[in-house]
Every structure is written in C-alpha cells, then in structure tokens.
Amino acid sequence: MKKLFIVATLSSLGLFAGCDRPADVASYNLSRAADNFQVNRRIVFFNGITDKYLMTIEGLCSLGNYDKSRELTVTCKTGQDSYKKHFLGLSDNVSFFAEQIEDQKVSTYHYKVQFRPQSIIPSVEIDVGR
C-alpha cells in the first residue's frame, strides 16, 4: 500500500510539472540557451547615482552566481573552446541590466537534454609498459 501511495504521488507530480504557463517555459528555455552560449547578450553596469555606464560586456555570455554577496559572474564564449570569466562586485549605487540582443527561437512545447561528452565518456589512460 505504501509503495502504491508513493507511485501515485510521483505520478501526480509529473502531471502537474507539465502545467507550466507558456511564458515560464519560454523563459526557462531562453535561460538554458544562454547558459549554453547560444544567446547574444549585452550586460551593462551603471552607476545609479550619476547615471553613467561603467562597463559593457557583449557576446555569448552566461550570467551566474548573483547572490547576497553582491557578486556577479559573467562567463563568455570567445572561441570554439575559449571562454572568459569575469567577477563583478555590485554596490548600493552600482547595478546592471542584461539585454538579449537578438531574438531566439525557443519552443514552449519542446524540451531538449544536452549531455556534455566529458560527463559521459570517461577519461582513459593506456599504459603499454616499456
């Protein structure tokens, strides 16, 4: 009986998981695409008191780690296997906004799973012993 209750509960959770609003699904898919370096962004840091821009970062960039420590990381893809990571401190008068530069086609009905080859294929070393 206990197993049946657990299965029924998990099944109902799976049904409710598909009831997201289309805007929520599109937002999630856009965030995932940006985290996979598929979305061009412009991130502008500005002084809220003087209204002056302090710095702009543009490119295939992912935002991350914004938390109570007032630090933001911006990781950008600069080549096929090249990346740059920036650590930016925010204060009471310095803030940022991130703009998506181009339209991105995402589906509200379709999802995709992307595996990183490094996590699937183990690193193998062969010692032929001389």
The Cβ of residue 58 has, within 10 Å, a number of other Cβ atoms equal to: 13
Q: Which two tokens stand for residue 85?
A: 């990571």
pLDDT in tens, the chain (130 residues): 444 444 444 444 444 455 578 888 888 888 888 888 988 988 888 888 888 888 889 999 998 876 667 888 899 999 988 999 988 888 888 888 787 777 777 666 665 555 556 555 666 677 777 6
| Annotated domain spans of the chain | 2-104
pTM (2 decimals)? 0.62
Residue 112: exposed, middle, or buried by beta-carbon count in 10 A (0-12, 13-18, 19+)?
A: exposed
* Strand bridging mode 82-89 / 71-79: antiparallel
